[in-house]
Amino acid sequence: MELQQLRYVLAVAETRNFTRAAERCFVVQSALSHQIKALEGELGLQLFARTSRRVELTEAGAAFLPAARAALEAAERAVAEASAATGRLRGTLRIGAIPTVTALDLPAALGAFRDAHPEVRISLRGGGSDEFMEQIAAGTLDVAVLGLSESVYPNRVDSRVLARERLVAVLPAGHRLAARRRLHLRDLAEEAFVDFPAGAPGRVPSDAAFAKAGVAREVVFEAAGVELFLGLVRERLAIALLSDAVVGDRSGLVTIPVADGPLRVQHLAWSEFNPSPAALAFVDVARGHALAETVS
């Protein structure tokens, strides 16, 4: 069994298409198909059920896939470790980022990392802080930017604080409170809100702040994307609590500081057990690209 055969199997499993898998692996389709058939012959198992129009994993293929992926990742990690010992970094750097990263100039950090380590492949994915911590602990993610409540500390990962920031009220221009220079949560008690889904790390700081202030609020809309937040506010359907840096200078929107508003802490996290050389190198690079200021 060869590592390249495992790469081909994973590519077909992910694309559900031999042609697209071959394009991803930069080989002709006939070569990819031949290698997978050879592997199936070696194993005595059919990994894929395929017709001219459809490709699906068989039961045996689905059982084979997790160990195949782990074996391939282990082999790539071994190559990366050996290269790092000679001063060269190789392999893949898998990074997760919450939708509201403001404490780190992530594009600039990635650009600087690529310049310093051109042989490392970079993979970037979006998502939530909880899933990122689980993925880092499981070894399927290398580094992530997290956003957590001030009362929550990253678990099962190593981390450092990038910034603490107090969220601001985001209102539509012309709102009854838009001319105020500063607000308190009690001023917003009668407003309809858009926020992240209940229980999501991005929402916890706001829920905690309102509970601490003894103020009830109504979240009318739940969304995962900041652009949708801002669109709903602009249309006067709701207001939001977000980082001022996320909103920026956008037409039709007003941001106002909230004296007792939610405090969100952004962290850079990586494996506490066995961080890859690429992950540690990115952590070093990221130190020079922090943006947000820490507040009390």
Structure tokens belonging to residue 26: 């930069």
| pLDDT-above-90 percentage for the chain | 69
224 or 51, greater pLDDT: 224
Contacts with 165 (C-beta within 8 Å, 6 or more apart), sequence order = 102, 103, 243, 244, 245, 263, 264, 266, 292, 293, 294, 295
pLDDT digit string, tens, across residues 141-191: 999 999 999 889 999 999 999 999 999 999 999 999 999 999 999 999 999
Contact of 81 with 88, CB cutoff 8 Å: no
Give the residue among 4, 11, 18, 10 at the shortest CA–CA distance from 55: 18
* Whole-number CA gyration radius for the chain: 24
Other beta carbons within 10 Å of 221: 15
Distance CA 144, CA 269 (A): 5
Mean pLDDT (whole number) for 247-270: 95
Strand partners, 206: none
Contact of 202 with 278, CB cutoff 8 Å: no
The pairs formed by 58-67 with CB atoms below 8 angstroms and a separation of 24 or more are 61/9, 61/13, 64/9, 65/9, 65/10, 65/13
Query: Worst-scoring range by mean pLDDT, 161-175, 256-270, 271-285?
Result: 271-285
Distance CA 104, CA 146 (A): 11
| pLDDT of 17 strictly over 60 | yes
User: How much is the pLDDT for 79?
Assistant: 66
